[in-house]
Each structure stands twice: as structure tokens, then as C-alpha cells.
Amino acid sequence: MGKKKNKNKVSGAVKTAAKTEKKLANKLKKELANLGEEDIAKVIAEIEKEEARRAAATEKTLPGPPSARAYASLTPHPTNNELIMFGGEYHNGQKTEVYNELLFYNPVNNTWKKVKAPGAPPPRSAHQAVATPANKGELWVFGGEFTSPSETQFYHYKDLWCFSLADKKWEKVSAPHGPSARSGHRMAPVGRRLVVFGGYADDGREARYFDDLHCFCLDSRTWTKLQPAGRGPSARSACIMLPVGADGLIVYGGFSRVREGRTERTHTHTDMFRLAARPGPGGPGGPGGHVGVTWRSTGSGAAPGPRAGQAAAVNTHSGRAYVFGGVTDVEETEEELKGEMSDELLMIDLETAKWHNVTLRTEQQSSQSPAQPEKVVSEDKQEEEVTVVTDEVFTMKLGGTALPTSTTPSPSADGVVCGRRGGPSARMSAMMCVQRSTLYLYGGVLERDEKQFYLSDMYSLDLHKLNEWKTIIAQPPLPDWLGSDSETGDTGSDSSSDDSEDSDDD
């Protein structure tokens, strides 16, 4: 009879790995002590515990607009004419601040209020949020990341939260078999489900990008990992993901790093895919809620070139989505990249997956371009037709004379960055949503001379009229940059792709 194996015996390789981990942990503790920072996991646990002690919700009208930020979520309220902003971060070159503020904007009286509710999630950025009208309104938040002030520590979340808009109370939803910890992912509502795709995580030694697809059933509160047929999008973060009807999705672009031997290069994706879902046994609302899904390549029209950190929003009533901004990496030398930013507004017809370049009426009147535009009916069917340029030459304009494909704005003498014709300036990782056929855009990041400035301006655009951008909050003069001039944020790479832990993508 052979010897009984010792199940608890540990191999030499495992022991070596454990010793290495211990050394790294001890080294990190010393570094954190020198910086005056605590271990990030301990900080998060303490914050969550403190938030759970809150007895009742409080509301406070803010004296002014929120602070500058990027990588937050801006979500249309499902029942009221309001916008919901949650989380986000701010970085001044020296220190990072991450928020868990829950803010409500009323566009009728132009006021902001802050709600502090029991059991709130810890601060995070590069997360995802979806609002649904069920149970008098719910806001669902998944994932994201927390960054220490010195940016020496990053923590990725895999938690799911539900905020009751009626009861003003947070709930941490415990459901097994969900996605792994990540940020820079995308989440979209498909019927009575939340679908999560992609994202990014960094353990300090390796950055991993995901191509997995997960589905959370709002009725049964269970996660299911989907296994679509067909060739779908490769692993990436900060892509655009848009719901199509009650059973489909469109995924476009995104950012990832690709390892080639011992070297690593950045890659901004320009492909587009449609996920078609079909009910399985029992239908999507039936027992088990099984669904079959298939990927297929799609997309046509004036699609943007390689660009990351674009903001996207859906107008569910018209079947159209809008995409703004983003950044393109331009190689200056073999080792240096420069980020060139966009201020272009594009529209996607979700049914046909066709891109259109939007021209506002005020810009159309001043345009001297000889290009023959395609006529597209505006969101208001009774309105006159609006001109939308759809030639294959990708321009950086909303109308008028053609401009370079991307441009990084420079501040005026007083440090104020202004967009052309009164609209938002070029930027990446802004927050954007559509509420009652009005497009709203807030903040984001402006990259200039290897510095990243977080913005606090806000704009709206009436999608029925498409006349001109309205400035709700003007951008004040840019603050002083406190980082070194030689400091880089990988320009359009991780920062632009909501992988803010590497800075970004929003």
C-alpha cells in the first residue's frame, strides 16, 4: 500500500510565491507609513462601516455646482425630470480625491442637491450606473475603483448596490457568481436585466482586460455568465455599449494593452459588434430566465477613427445614441505618445448601427463646406430636416469649415478653456446622458502639455431643435497643476479609457 499523501503539503514554488507576497506587503506598509496612508482595503472597510451607521437620509441644496470631476456616472432619473450623479474623482497632479457623493440636478430650476442616505457605497470612480422605474425608481451601481490620495494604491470593486429613489436608502446586494473586480467596464439595461461587459483590473504587477459578459436578473437577483456564439469584441475597457430595443446591445471601440513577447503596446479599438439575444426555454421572464446570445460584426457610416474615453448616451424614445469627445494617441517618438482630443458630436442610429456626424443649425448656417450633406429628420418629427454630414472624411467639426480630425484646446489668457461656438471644448471621460430629449454633458478631463485638468463645466443640447449648445455651468480658469511637468498619464491610454487607476476611461 502506498503512503498516504499529505493534502496540506505546500510545494516549493508556492512557498516562494508566499514569501514574495509577504515581502511586497511589508514593503508597501513601509511606503504607506512614509506617505501617511493606511492600507487601502482597511480604509474602504472603515468607510463602508461608517456609512452603514447612518440612521436616516438627509438632503441639502448645494450653494453652487459640484466640484470638477471625471469618471463619475450621470444617469437620467427614471420617473422625475432630474439627473443623478454618483461618484467620480479629481486629480490635481499631486493628490487624488475619490467621491461617493449622490447628487441630483433639477434642470427646471437649475439646482443641485446632495443626498446622504444610510448604507452608502464607499467612494469610487470608473464604475457603472443604471436607473430603472421599478419599485418607484432604483439606481443600480456596479464595480469601479478607489485610488489612494498618493495614487500608490488602487482597489477594484466587484460589489453591486441598489439605491431606492423612493425610500432613499442604499442596499448592498449579495449575489454569487458575478463579474470579478474591475473598472472601466460597461453596464446597460436589456429588458429586466443588467448586462456587464469588459473592464480592467490592476493588481500592481499586471493589468488585465476582460471580454466576459455577465447578466444580472432584476427579478430573481441572480448573476449568469453568458457564453455568446460568434466572434465578439476582444478584451477591452472603456468601450461604448448601448442597449438596442428590449433584447440587444451594440459595443463599439475601447482600449486595451497588448503584450507582444516582452514588450507591451497600447491599442485603441475601432470595431463594432451587435449582440442579439433570443429567449430560451421559458422566455426571458420565465423560469430560470435563460437567454441565447450571438455576436456579429456591424456598423457603417462616418464612424470615428481610433479614439478612447468617449462619452455616450441613449435617447430611448428615438432609437438614437450620441457620442462626444475622446482622445487619440499620436506617436511623437518611439517612446512618447501625445493625446489629441476631440470635441465632435456623433449620432448612431441604433437600428441600423450607422454613424452620422451631427451639424447644429447655427453651424449649418455659417458653413461654407462644399460637401453634399445627407438629410436626416431631427428628433422632433415636426421640425424641419437637419443637416448631418455623412461623408467618409472624418472631421472634427459639428458643422462649418472642416477642421483637423482632433484638436487639444489651449486656454485663453485667463486660463479659461472654451469650446468652439459656445459648446463643450475637446475632452475625454466626460459624463453624459439624455433626459426628456435633452442631451446633458458634465466635466471630464482636458489633457495639455502632459498635464491633466479635471473640468467642472456643464452643457445641454435640445435634441428636438439641434440649434446650439446651452452653457449651464461655465468652466472657470484652470487651476495650477501641482505635478511635475515631466509627469505623463499615458495620454489616451489607460487614463482616457476610464482606467483611472493608471492615470483613466471615461
Q: What percentage of the chain has pLDDT greater than the value 90?
A: 60
Distance CA 375, CA 388 (A): 6
Q: What percentage of the chain has pLDDT greater than the value 70?
A: 73
DSSP state of 246: T
The residues, ordered by sequence, that sit 6+ positions from 259 with a Cβ below 8 Å of its Cβ are none
pLDDT (0 to 100) of residue 419: 67
Distance CA 265, CA 359 (A): 35
Distance CA 443, CA 451 (A): 16
Q: Is the domain 38-502 a CATH 2.120.10.80 member?
A: yes
pLDDT (0 to 100) of residue 486: 47
Residue 21 has pLDDT above 70, yes or no: no
Model confidence band, residue 263 (pLDDT cutoffs 50, 70, 90): confident
Name which of 202, 87, 97 is nearest 482 in CA terms.
Answer: 97
Query: Phi and psi of 490, rounded to 5°?
Result: 60, 20
Report how far apart, in Å, the C-alpha atoms of 230 and of each of 109, 220, 244, 292, 300 are.
Answer: 49, 28, 18, 12, 20
Q: Which residues pair with 254 in a beta bridge?
A: 269
Name which of 255, 47, 46, 40 is nearest 154 in CA terms.
Answer: 40
For 82, the 3-state DSSP assignment is coil
Q: Which residues pair with 189 in a beta bridge?
A: 194
pLDDT (0 to 100) of residue 414: 53
Query: Phi and psi of 71, rounded to 5°?
Result: 60, 25
CB 184, CB 157: distance < 8 Å: no
Q: Which residues pair with 256 in a beta bridge?
A: 267
Residue 108 has pLDDT above 70, yes or no: yes
Model confidence band, residue 493 (pLDDT cutoffs 50, 70, 90): very low
Distance CA 153, CA 453 (A): 21
Query: Phi and psi of 329, rounded to 5°?
Result: -80, 125
Model confidence band, residue 265 (pLDDT cutoffs 50, 70, 90): confident
To which H or E segment does residue 446 belong?
A: strand 438-448
> Given the C-alpha cell 458575478, which residue does it identify?
178
**25-39, 238-252, 278-292 — which is least confidently predicted?**
278-292
The overall average pLDDT reported for the chain is: 81
- Please compute the mean of the pLDDT values over residues 337-363 and round it to a whole number: 90
Beta-carbon neighbour count of residue 415 at 10 Å? 13
End-to-end CA distance of the chain: 62
Query: Phi and psi of 268, rounded to 5°?
Result: -105, 120
- This prediction's pTM: 0.83
Strand pairing of 96-98 and 311-315? Answer: unpaired
Distance CA 48, CA 483 (A): 31
Report how far apart, in Å, the C-alpha atoms of 110 and of each of 77, 104, 329, 473 are.
Answer: 15, 10, 37, 10
Name which of 274, 292, 272, 271 is nearest 283 in CA terms.
Answer: 292
DSSP state of 425: P
Residue 366 has pLDDT above 90, yes or no: no
